[in-house]
Amino acid sequence: MAISKDYCVVVLVTAPDESTAMSIGRMLVEERLAACANLIGPIRSIYRWQGAVEDACEQLLLIKTRANLFAALESRVQQLHPYEVPEIVAIEIQHGSPQYLQWIRESTAESPGGKP
């Protein structure tokens, strides 16, 4: 039995600054790969990169979309993002307002490059 990919997800993406985060979020919504992108920040990120511990000020994008658009969204973020390896992590929305989840579905494309 095939697993349905019509469920909704929240995708976490960090960006180096507000301008970059805003640009990525706007593009994803305009292209109907996302219903909404919230910018949160500044945040402080401590992580290991190329053998060194880094400490950076970043912006966090919370992107709402449907699971079947994740691959296209991931590809588009990688095209738009300045980081060599951007954070792109999807978390399934297990519970939510039925009206809000329906709005996410209606606000995004049925398939990559498709129509709603």
The enclosing domain of 37 has a CATH number of: 3.30.70.120
Q: How many domains does the chain contain in total?
A: 1
Dihedral in degrees, nearest 10, Cα atoms 26, 27, 30, 31:
-150
- Assigned domain for 36 exists: yes
pTM: 0.89
In a domain, 84, yes or no: yes
Is 113 domain-assigned?
Answer: no
Q: What does the alpha-carbon distance between residue 32 and residue 65 come to, in Å, rounded to a whole number?
A: 9
pLDDT of residue 1: 35
Report the pLDDT value the prediction gives residue 5, as an integer from 0 to 100: 63
- For the record, the structure tokens of 73 come out as 């969204």
- Give 60-69 pLDDT, tens digit per residue: 999 999 999 9
Domain annotation covers residue 43: yes
Which range marks the domain in which residue 101 is found? 8-107
- Please identify every stretch of the chain with a pLDDT value under 70, giving residue numbers as ranges: 1-5, 110-116
